[in-house]
Structures are given as C-alpha cells and as structure tokens.
Amino acid sequence: MQKGNTKDLDNLCGVDPLVKIFLDLISFDTKSDPESKQVPSTVGQLRFGAYLLSCINDLGYKAKQDGNGVITLKIEASKGCESAKSLCLLAHMDTAPDCSGANIRPRLVKNYQGNGIELDNGLVLNDDICKELRNFTGDDIIITDGNTLLGADDKAGISCILHLLHNLKINDSIKHGPLTVVFSVDEEIGLSTTHLDVKAIDCDYGVTVDGTALGELDVATFNAYGAIVNIKGLSVHTAVAYKTMKNAISIANEFMAMLPSYETPETTQGDEGFFHVHNIEGSSSMCKLKMIIRDFTHPGMEKRLQLLTRISELLNEKYGKGTVSVKTTFQYANMGDVLKEHKDFLNLLRKSYKDAKVSVIENKVRGGTDGSNLSNQGLPTPNIFTGALNCHGPYECLPVGAFNKSYEVLKHIVMNMAKKSNKKEK
C-alpha cells in the first residue's frame, strides 16, 4: 500500500501549472453552512472570492464580485469570432458542509500501483471505497491527509477555468466566442442558482465544470420535489384510549408503509426514481415527515405526487378529515428535457471530448446540478467532469491526468464554440 507525500507534490507544482493553481485555491476554507442566514452562507467564500477577483484582474480582465459574493467576468470574442454563440463557464466556490475544508493538507501519490493508499491518519483509500480508483493505476493522485475533504469539488473546476483565462491571454491560437465566467456561492446547500440571473448572464449556452470521474458528461438530472407531511393525532390518557386515541406516530408509520418499499434511494439505481423520508419528528399528538421525491420523467413525478395525495386521502377517510396534510414543493427539473432540444450543442461537446482524446460517458445524474435550474431558466447547461473522485469527504482525491483532461476538454469546448456561428443555426 502506498502513502502520499508533499515533496512529490511540490515537484509536480513546478511542472504542472494547473496543479499549482489548484493547491493555491484549496488553502482557502470555503465550506458552506445550511444553517446560516447570510449570503454567502460563510465569510470564507467572500474572502476566497476577493482572492479570485484579484487573480483574474491581475491577468488583465475586469471581473466583478456582487453583494452576494458571486464573481462574474465577461470576455469579448477573439477577432473574427464575434458572431459565435456565447458561452458561460461556471464553477462554485464553496465546499460541502459534510466535512471540514479548513487546513487541507494535500499529498501526492506518485505512480499509483493499484493496491490502495494509506492516508496520514490511517484511513485506507482502496477499490472498496472507490471502484474507479483502479482506472488510475500509473497515474499521480492528489489525496488528503484523511482529516478534511480535498476541495476538488469544485476548486478543480475553478482551477481549469482560471488556467484557461491565463492561456487565453498568452496564446492567441485559442480562438473563442463571447465568454462569461461565473463563480457561484453556496452550491452545496442548493442555493447557488438563486443568486444567479440568467438574463444578466445573457449567454446562448452554459457549461458547469463540476462533475466527477474522467469522461463524464452529465446531460440529465432528476426532477425533484420536497414534501412535508403533517399528521395530527388525538392524545388522551392511555386508560381511556380505547377507540379514541389517534396516535400520530402510528399514522405516520401507516403513511410510510403505503410508500413502495422498493422505491427508496437504497433500492433503486439507473433510471429509477424514489421516495425518501429523511426526517421524522413528533409525538403521539403530532408528527411531521420530511421527504424528497425524485424521478427522471415528468409523468413519473406526477404519479408520485398523486400517490402522496391518495395516501393522505385514504388516511383521512380512516382517521377523520384534516388528520393528514401533504405540502409539496418544487425543487428542480430535469435538464435533459431542455438539453435534448439542443442537439447541436451536445454534439459539439461530444466532439470536444474527442478532440481532447477523452472517451465520453454520458450520464444521468441521480441528483441535481446548477444546470438543472439554469437549463430550465433558459440557459442550457450540461456538466463536465473535473476528474475528482469521492467528493464531500476525507477520501476525496484527484487523479492528475484526469484533472488535466478536464482542462483540455474545456479548452476544446471554447475553441469549438468559436466556430459555431450565431447566424447559421436555426
């Protein structure tokens, strides 16, 4: 089993500018906080944004940071590419609240041999933890010391975009159409797109650089609803409970028992949707269930919402009107329904993967991305890989070859877009 070290990482920094940028970025603690009432949810994101702003403007651009901490940069097209379709590149500044992102101490495993990696604190990263790891035998892999996440989600994405901004300045041969760069806040707590204005971004297409394994191209996401089920019981002394008491906990149990037991996150995969009760609180007199509902299709989602209504009706017939009430809330919609109307753009992305010598793996995300909301607000935005694996925890790692391929794909997308005239398309 191999261990990582910092000496090899320092050496790599000297020859790999993308890795150098990445290591600078992960020195900032930008963990978001779902309990916070501030925007952005943590001051670390503001500080990080200020740093990014100075990096970008030092390159000779004029980026802006708005009151919410979001960074936006508009770049004019290269000479001769003014009529190309406009493209927005997006990545998020925060890291997941699930794990510490402070004092990240990255290490490098050089030439991974395939037999697992022991992190400094004794945790073992191997094929059991991460199936994809075996694909990176022979590659160099950036790891944590086992006490924090790595921050590749999504500072690997930001690194690729910064590296591109640098290269656009020094290399005239990277032709590009009108570009917008957005670094968003609070993506990990589901709020990033609430602070973005698709009209102000004003682009034909978008790409988030926020995916995981090498080759992944996310072209669809779930449709998503949340639901809160309130159950009113009738609490009386147990001595006189016979045919009188309505135990809200028992009714909550009945409600859950009527949900299909084979349609939960742990029993579904691929195209299958689910119901997920993730929180239950209450007493015999009052109970509240919190759940999320996921489905790739609109008719499928409609059926799921109808089932919730039907179950509450049945229980209300049995226990009395007003016993059970269900409130559903729209969360996000499948971006695939929007993207399939933009076949030319998807073909351009496929070609860009090919140009970068990366085999494309088209993926339906069993979750949402910023692209779910952006696409449905009029900015078709698929998601490309960063190369990072096991995000949101101490096993997070970044195979260096895959990371560099993410940059290559991004560069080819920008170059191919430059050839895509605004006028020719429908």
Show which residues are catalytic. 94, 187
Smallest distance from Zn ion to CB 396, Å: 11
Residue with tokens 């890795």: 19
* Burial class, 71, CB count within 10 angstroms (exposed 0-12 / middle 13-18 / buried 19+): buried
Smallest distance from Zn ion to CB 176, Å: 24
Q: Are strands 223-232 and 324-332 parallel, antiparallel or unpaired?
A: antiparallel
Are 367 and 418 contacting, i.e. CB atoms less than 8 angstroms apart? no
Residue type, 150: L
Q: How many residues does the chain have?
A: 426
94 binds Zn ion (CB under 5 A): no
Smallest distance from Zn ion to CB 21, Å: 17
Q: Which stretch binds Zn ion (CB under 5 A): 18-26, 208-216, 234-242, 376-384?
A: 208-216
Q: Is 47 helix (H, G, I), strand (E, B) or coil?
A: helix
Smallest distance from Zn ion to CB 157, Å: 7
Nearer residue to Zn ion within complex by CB, 29 or 154: 154
Are 255 and 233 contacting, i.e. CB atoms less than 8 angstroms apart? no
Nearer residue to Zn ion within complex by CB, 154 or 396: 154
154 binds Zn ion (CB under 5 A): yes
210 binds Zn ion (CB under 5 A): yes
Q: How many residues bind Zn ion, per CB under 5 A? A: 3
Smallest distance from Zn ion to CB 84, Å: 28
40 upstream amide cis, omega within 30 of 0? yes
186 binds Zn ion (CB under 5 A): no
Nearer residue to Zn ion within complex by CB, 154 or 218: 154
Residue type, 344: D
Q: Are strands 216-221 and 361-365 parallel, antiparallel or unpaired?
A: parallel
Residues 264-293 that bind Zn ion (CB under 5 A): none
218 binds Zn ion (CB under 5 A): no
Residue with tokens 């499948």: 334
Nearer residue to Zn ion within complex by CB, 181 or 415: 181
153 binds Zn ion (CB under 5 A): yes
29 binds Zn ion (CB under 5 A): no
Ramachandran class of 308: left when φ > 0, alpha when ψ lies in -120 to 50, beta otherwise:
alpha
Contacts to Zn ion by CB under 5 A: 153-154, 210
